[in-house]
Structure 1
Amino acid sequence: MTVIRKARFEDAEGLWQLRIDAINGQCRGHYSDAAMDLWTAGQCTQAFADEVSKTFYLLERGGSPLVCGAIIDGQIEGRFVSPRCSGQGLGKRILKHLEAVAREQGLTRLTLESTLNAAPFYRSQGYRGEQIARYQSPRGFALDCIPMEKLLLSPS
């Protein structure tokens, strides 16, 4: 059985590994090897753990995190899906959960910066955006992304 819950500080290491697995499993081939290496380098930081405990939700099965995501300042962030469960609808479930949380917070619009490979998924969920832009990571590298938005006028 899968459960969606608010992430806790102690979930940070597992979500960091989920992040690395998702990036390696789904973004390779869309970005250079050098960019991939920079994106997945390093260890879980205190700042990441703090953000996890404040803003992240996770979907887990048997205590193992399979999908995560957050809403930070009206933007979907850190939505990662384990490659071993890709295509099972779990990414859609966490996205719908995040949209419900956004509505509860009074938000009427969500934005995100999609990876090139994930843009078709987001479009299928009602997000709009076509232009390629540059995401500037606070870790000192840049990646192509597609800024997208969705109006949250009613539950979908």
Structure 2
Amino acid sequence: MLIRAARADEAEILSELAIRSKAYWGYDETFMATCRHELVVPASEVENLRTAVAEHDGHILGFATLEGEPPEGALGMLFVDPRAIGEGIGRRLFEHVTSTARGLGFARLTIDADPNAEPFYLAMGATRIASTPSDSIPGRMLPLLVITVAERRAGGEDPHSRD
């Protein structure tokens, strides 16, 4: 399996994968229609979102985005094709994003997790710090998680700066 930067012309494929992946948890059609806009990856944003894809034999099996600017950002999206869930693709994408974040000078990443995905993120080392309201479903609260990807030096210095 190869993890590489996504291309803008793959945005529709990524959006469809995100929708299939979200539906994997058994959400009904009304729920999926309500949150569909959150699952769309605009072609114009693929690069800005630092989108990475997991690919095998020319097939995209999952993708993730690293959003924001150092020192604090977000794991914006992480979706795996339902046919490939359980094969370690989510773990590889998560490790890729955290490694990339560390290399770019991020110290922490937040994750607005689907409640069904929270156990995965906790197993990957994230910690639940709060709940956050869903952007799509009024009254629905989502786990807000954080993962430290690099320790900050005393005095707030960037651990990646060179003297």
TM range (shorter): 0.7 to 0.9
Aligned residue for 2:158? none
The alpha-carbon deviation at position 33 of structure 1 amounts to 4.5
The alpha-carbon deviation at position 36 of structure 1 amounts to 2.0
SS at match of 2:46: helix
Q: Which residues of structure 2 form unaligned runs of 5+?
A: 152-163
1:118 counterpart letter in structure 2: A
Q: What is the distance in 2 between the residues matched to 1:98 and 1:43?
A: 18
Map 1:23-102 → 2, pairs under 5 A: 23-26=22-25, 28-29=26-27, 33-40=29-36, 48-54=42-48, 55-73=50-68, 74-102=73-101
Query: What TM-score, normalized to structure 1?
Result: 0.83
Tell me: CA distance 1:60–1:109, structure 2 relative to 1, closer, same or farther (3 Å): same
Map 1:143-154 → 2, pairs under 5 A: 143-153=140-150
Q: What is the distance in 1 between the residues matched to 2:114 and 2:65?
A: 16
Q: Say whether the 8 Å CA contact 1:66–1:81 is kept in structure 2.
A: yes
Aligned residues: 145
Superposed CA deviations along residues 33-73 of structure 1, whole A, max 9, x for unmatched, are 5222222369957xx11111332000011111111011111
Tell me: CA distance 1:41–1:127, structure 2 relative to 1, closer, same or farther (3 Å): closer
Aligned residue for 1:7? 6
Q: What is the distance in 2 between the residues matched to 1:111 and 1:57?
A: 17
Tell me: CA distance 1:95–1:43, structure 2 relative to 1, closer, same or farther (3 Å): closer
Query: What TM-score, normalized to structure 2?
Result: 0.80
SS at match of 2:87: coil
Structure with bigger RCO (C-alpha 8 Å, 6+ apart): 1
Q: Say whether the 8 Å CA contact 1:135–1:145 is kept in structure 2.
A: yes
Q: What is the distance in 2 between the residues matched to 1:44 and 1:131?
A: 25
Q: Say whether the 8 Å CA contact 2:129–2:146 is kept in structure 1.
A: no
Identity %: 27
For the aligned residue pairs, the C-alpha RMSD in angstroms reads 2.2
Q: Say whether the 8 Å CA contact 1:108–1:153 is kept in structure 2.
A: yes
Q: Which residues of structure 1 form unaligned runs of 5+?
A: none
Max Rg structure: 2
Q: Say whether the 8 Å CA contact 2:126–2:145 is kept in structure 1.
A: yes
Q: Say whether the 8 Å CA contact 2:106–2:150 is kept in structure 1.
A: no
Tell me: CA distance 1:111–1:23, structure 2 relative to 1, closer, same or farther (3 Å): same
Aligned residue for 2:122? 123
